[in-house]
Amino acid sequence: MSTGLDEIIGNFDLLDEWDDRYRYLIELGKELEPLPEDAHNDANKVRGCASQVWLVSRNDGGPGPQTRLHFSGDSDAHIVRGLVALALAIYSGRTAADILKTDAFAIYEKLGLAAHLTPQRSNGVRSMIERIKSDARSAAA
C-alpha cells in the first residue's frame, strides 16, 4: 500500500462531500496489493464482517512489544476494501505496543466515516480492528 495515513487524512480534509470521500475510499481499496489466492482461507477470514474480509499478519522479529507487525488484506466489496486499506495505513509496520495504544475509531471519527457507515459496516470495522489488535497482543506476549 503506497498511501500513508497522513496523506489519507490530508486528502479527506480536502474532500467536503461524502460522495467524494466514499469514492476516495474505494480508490484506496483499489491500491491494495492483491492477496495471493491461497491467503483467501478460513484462518485469515475476519469473523463479524458482512462482507468477506481476509487479513494476513506477519512480524519481523521475535515476540515482544517492540516487534513490528505488517498486515495485508482484501475484501470482496469495494468500499470494505477501502476500509481495509485505511486500517492497514493505521496499523501496518508499527510495533505491537503502538498498535495496542492506537485508537483507530478516533481516526475513523475524525475522517467522518463513523457517521456514514451502516451499523453492520461499523461492526465489521470493529471486528477487523479487534483482529489486528489480537495479533498484536499475541506478538507482544
- Band (1; pLDDT cuts 50, 70, 90): very low
Distance of CA 134 to the CA centre of its chain: 13
Q: Which CATH number fits domain 5-140: 3.40.50.720, 3.40.50.300, 3.90.1010.10, 3.10.150.10?
A: 3.90.1010.10
Q: pLDDT (tens digit, 9 = 90+) per residue, 7-58?
A: 999 999 999 899 999 999 999 999 999 899 999 999 999 998 788 999 999 9
Q: Is 99 a catalytic residue?
A: no
C-beta neighbour count of 78 within 10 angstroms: 15
In Å, what is the CA distance from 41 to each residue of 55, 74, 90? 10, 11, 24
Q: pLDDT (tens digit, 9 = 90+) per residue, 17-29?
A: 999 999 999 999 9
Distance of CA 62 to the CA centre of its chain: 23
- Band (3; pLDDT cuts 50, 70, 90): confident
> pTM for the whole thing?
0.93
Could you give the count of Cα atoms lying within 13 Å of 94 in the half-sphere of its Cβ?
A: 20
Which DSSP string do the residues of 10-76 spell out, in sequence order? HHHHH--SHHHHHHHHHHHHHHSPPPPGGGSSTTTBPTT-SS-EEEEEEESSSSSTT-EEEEEEEES
Beta bridge partners of 133: none
Average pLDDT, the chain: 92
How large is the average pLDDT for residues 106-122? 88
In Å, what is the CA distance from 18 to each residue of 13, 21, 25, 45, 115? 11, 5, 10, 29, 10
Query: Which pLDDT score, from 0 to 100, does residue 61 have?
Result: 78
Active-site annotation holder among 1, 49, 104, 125: 49
More confident residue, 1 or 95: 95
* Domain ranges, ordered by start, for the chain: 5-140
How large is the average pLDDT for residues 62-79? 92
